[in-house]
Amino acid sequence: MPPTPPPLPKPEPPASRHPMLAPAVAIAVILAANIVSFKYLRSMPDTGECAVFHRTEGGWERMWTAPGLLDEIHVSGRGTVWVLAPFNGGFVRLAGAQWRSYTAADLGMKTGYLAGGFVLDGEDVWAATHEGVVHWDGQRWRCYREAFRTPGTEHSIAAGGGRAWAIDPSGSLSQFDGTRWTTWRLELPGVSWDRADRGRPKLARTADGSLFLVRDGVWRLDGSKWVALTPESQPLRGAWLVGTTGDRVWLWEQGKLRSVSANGKTWSEYPLPSAVYAVASDGRRTWLAAWNTILQSDGAAWRTLPLPGGRFKNVVAIDVGPDGGLWMVGLDPNPALRQQWYWRVAIAWLPLIALIAALVWLARRSSRLRRREQERIRQAVQHATGEVPYELEQAQRQSQPWLAGLALGGAIVGGIVGYSLLHHRWPKTPAWTIVVIALAIHLAFTFQQSLAKRKPSPSDPIGPGAPPRYDWGKTAKALVAALVILLVVNLEWVPVLRFLQGYWLVVLFLAPVGYRALAIRAMYSPLRRADYDGALRAIRLYHFYSPGGGVALRQSGAVLLVAGRHREAEEVLRRAAARQATGLEQAGTLDYLGNVLMEQSRYDEAMRSFQAARHAAPGSRRPYRGMAETLLRQGKNPEQALEYVEGIVGSSGPSARGRLLSDRVQDDYWALKAWALGQLGRSAEVAPAIEKALKATSRKSRPDLAATYYRAGMAMEAVGNASAARDYFKRAVELDPTGRRGTLAQAALRQTGIRSK
């Protein structure tokens, strides 16, 4: 005799209908505070003043001071100074001794955001903006909106000889021939324009008219063909454009300053301690600009040039005039910013700290709720089956939140470190390698977890039907998920799926949901037609990655139950009970198991299983159906059975919430209520209850209709109406002749002395 399972502890009422609502609201509020604080920081001035300086033999002279940020400075051959104010909507121009500002309205623009910089062609000005290319011809401004196929992106521009070129991050190159713009897609060997992490392309033009492009290396236009330029010492790794000086193009690349001649044949290298972002030359001397340093060379050695005294000590841009005098844009950090330092630190960090604290609190709360749920599951399974399966204990140990978080964090860190090592050895290593390495680490962890040997249980069958010694479900599922992620991240390699590029995050979110919906639809479609073999095939098809997993076993057990194959259903559901991860899943499994035991007249075991289902998911009303039918089958205590029936829907009757917790409750509620009322002798209430049950039952589901007709027959039999009972039983047999309810209806007909035809 199997040992008597321990009684269940007193059920704990759910603390809240939505236990995670409060943490979710708290995190949403903190996220909103972070967004508001970020916008407030953006609205605060980042810089106080910028000034334009001119250096002659007598030293530095401040020429003009402007509030806000100034960016680039260029001096024409006639000595006209142009300064870019990218966020203030235009330019500042010094001609002679007079400064003049040009706003967005002067440029023919709406926003005036100049993100692509500007270049000079003689006395003409060409600039790339978010709305198109703007051109100053010496008299007026004109905006060429047709220059860009994709306005709003950050273009790069070059000009010379009355012509102009502009390129966007997607590789669309536009050329102005003096009268109109022509745009085409630039194709370069080995260059993927879909990869934004490779940096924005930059155009440059030397004095002899040579056109250069910096993107995944350095390219020079030779007639109609772009030729890759590579220094003899070693290939370029992440080079960016510094600028041009007459016959040379200057690049900064991994701690070294390089220059290449206009013909692309001569390379030079200059090791420097800090990054350089601007260059200027008058033919005899060359100046380089770093953040707070200007270096000058006359061809022999570099020396540090003294900066202007005072507060403008940060170098923004430099250029040289026709007289050999150096021009500089200097920056003074905002004095008010220093006074607001504490406020900025608080605004920037306190919401972030609060968000981290809320996430930690959420993780601890989730872990605590998870431990309580796991304890309920162990108690429920032991109460229903008499033991706690080894697989269940192992699965609960492996599903610790901290372990999952550690595995995820280790996979991400490992992916980044692995990519860095590969990129150092092979510079052209693609960025999606991070995803591949992280997935490989996560797969290895999952694989190791699934290698734990399964401990045999005394109740396990011997032979082909025995459970596997190893559980490969996790590894198979993780492998399929990894392959899907790799496919989605690399959609550009699959022509049929290229239309999904840019939406891969949405695809990754919706794909599991869509696949699960398809799987459920594929199972229920034949199940409603009482095609049980078809439903089982659909389960095996859609759960090919884990046919022995808890979900597949639970669904298979439910189908076998409805099909009337109770021995098989019991074996499958007992295996499923050892693999369920959540309380709701375990409650569903134990509820199905209780129904299987009830069909085998093992009523005490069935009642324990229903009680265990209630304990596994407090608040679930689904087990009340089985508990009520168990009593009604035995024909005893109909008062208690009616109480259980009322428990299906609660004190408020059938509701939307009841449907969410217990599927379609109305048909079971009214059919079981009619049966209980019949056993109580309240015959006047039976027929209206049956009518409501039939009305609430889906006409598309033959098993559901058969269940309602069978229960209606039992209700009529209880009140002594044998004729009506036989009609209901016959209808149940017609709808589901070989299934659970049809078999029960046939047995009921035999007991009344009438066999179905």
Q: For 505-537, what is each residue's pLDDT tens digit?
A: 566 667 777 888 888 899 999 999 999 999 999
Q: Is the predicted pLDDT of residue 153 greater than 90, yes or no?
A: no
Domain with 646 in it = 621-757
Provide the percentage of residues in the chain whose pLDDT is more than 70: 73
- Cβ atoms within 10 Å, residue 175: 16
- CATH number, domain of 742, equals 1.25.40.10
Window from 289-293, 408-412, 589-593 with minimum mean pLDDT = 408-412
Give the mean pLDDT of 723-748.
Answer: 92
Confidence of residue 682 (pLDDT cuts 50, 70, 90): very high
What is the crossing angle of helices 665-679 and 638-649, to 10°? 160
Q: Which helix (H) or strand (E) holds 623?
A: helix 623-634
Give the mean pLDDT of 651-676.
Answer: 64
The C-alpha atoms of residue 328 and residue 315 are separated, in whole angstroms, by 7
Q: Is the predicted pLDDT of residue 149 greater than 50, yes or no?
A: yes
Residue 669 lies in a domain: yes
Window from 24-33, 308-317, 565-574, 624-633 with minimum mean pLDDT = 24-33
Contact in structure between 166 and 132 (CB atoms under 8 Å)? no
| Residue entry with tokens 């005098």 | 325
Residue 518 lies in a domain: no
Q: How confident is the model at residue 504, as a pLDDT?
A: 56
Q: Which helix (H) or strand (E) holds 405?
A: helix 401-425
Count structural domains, the chain: 1
- Give the distance between the most distant pair of CA atoms in the chain: 123
Residue 92 lies in a domain: no
Report the amino acid identity of residue 177: D
Give the mean pLDDT of 94-112.
Answer: 82
pLDDT, tens digit (0-9, with 9 covering 90-100), for 695-718: 989 889 999 999 999 999 999 999
Residue 285 lies in a domain: no
Window from 33-37, 657-661, 670-674 with minimum mean pLDDT = 657-661
Q: How confident is the model at residue 347, as a pLDDT?
A: 62
- Cβ atoms within 10 Å, residue 45: 13
Q: Is the predicted pLDDT of residue 497 greater than 70, yes or no?
A: no
Distance in Å from the first CA to the final CA of the chain: 42
Structure-token pair, residue 61: 């002279």
pLDDT, tens digit (0-9, with 9 covering 90-100), for 5-34: 666 766 555 444 455 555 566 666 666 665
Confidence of residue 335 (pLDDT cuts 50, 70, 90): low
Strand, coil or helix: what is 732?
Answer: helix
pLDDT, tens digit (0-9, with 9 covering 90-100), for 418-463: 877 877 667 667 766 777 777 777 767 766 665 544 455 555 554 4
Report the amino acid identity of residue 203: L
Which of 194-203, 297-306, 677-686: highest mean pLDDT?
677-686
Give the mean pLDDT of 209-218.
Answer: 91
Structure-token pair, residue 653: 């009757």
pTM, full prediction: 0.54
Q: How far does CA 341 lie from the centroid of its chain?
A: 35
Give the mean pLDDT of 208-220.
Answer: 91
Q: How confident is the model at residue 40, as a pLDDT?
A: 55
Q: How confident is the model at residue 231, as a pLDDT?
A: 84
Helix, strand, coil proportions of the chain in percent (round to 5)?
45, 20, 35
Q: Is the dihedral of CA 399, 405, 408, 413 positive or negative?
A: negative
Half-sphere exposure for 552 (CA within 13 Å, toward CB):
17
Window from 25-39, 170-184, 252-266 with minimum mean pLDDT = 25-39
Window from 109-113, 122-126, 334-338 with minimum mean pLDDT = 334-338
Q: Is the predicted pLDDT of residue 598 greater than 90, yes or no?
A: yes
Structure-token pair, residue 443: 């797969």
Give the mean pLDDT of 117-132.
Answer: 90
Q: How confident is the model at residue 654, as a pLDDT?
A: 41
Residue 147 lies in a domain: no
Give how far Cα 728 sits from Cα of 665, 709, 722, Å.
21, 5, 10
Give the mean pLDDT of 722-727.
Answer: 92
Q: Give the CA angle between residues 212, 294, 318 to the nearest 5°.
A: 50
Q: Is the predicted pLDDT of residue 184 greater than 80, yes or no?
A: yes
Q: How confident is the model at residue 463, as a pLDDT?
A: 45
DSSP 233-280: SS---S-EEEEEETTEEEEEETTEEEEEETTS--EEEEE-SS---EEE
Q: How confident is the model at residue 562, as a pLDDT?
A: 93
Give the mean pLDDT of 482-508.
Answer: 61
The C-alpha atoms of residue 708 and residue 663 are separated, in whole angstroms, by 15
Q: Which of 659, 671, 581 is nearest to 625 (CA)?
A: 671
Residue 705 lies in a domain: yes
Confidence of residue 661 (pLDDT cuts 50, 70, 90): very low
Q: How confident is the model at residue 439, as a pLDDT?
A: 73
Q: How confident is the model at residue 476, as a pLDDT?
A: 60
The C-alpha atoms of residue 444 and residue 378 are separated, in whole angstroms, by 29
- Cβ atoms within 10 Å, residue 177: 10
Q: How confident is the model at residue 560, as a pLDDT?
A: 94
Structure-token pair, residue 165: 């070129």
Mean predicted lDDT score pLDDT of the chain: 79
Structure-token pair, residue 707: 């269940």
Residue 655 lies in a domain: yes
Confidence of residue 729 (pLDDT cuts 50, 70, 90): very high
Report the DSSP pairing between strands 202-205 and 181-185.
Answer: unpaired
Window from 292-306, 336-350, 428-442 with minimum mean pLDDT = 336-350
Q: How confident is the model at residue 465, as a pLDDT?
A: 47
Residue 685 lies in a domain: yes
Confidence of residue 751 (pLDDT cuts 50, 70, 90): confident
Q: Is the predicted pLDDT of residue 232 greater than 60, yes or no?
A: yes
DSSP 536-598: HHHHHHHTTT-TTSHHHHHHHHHHHHHTT-HHHHHHHHHHHHTS--SHHHHHHHHHHHHHHHH
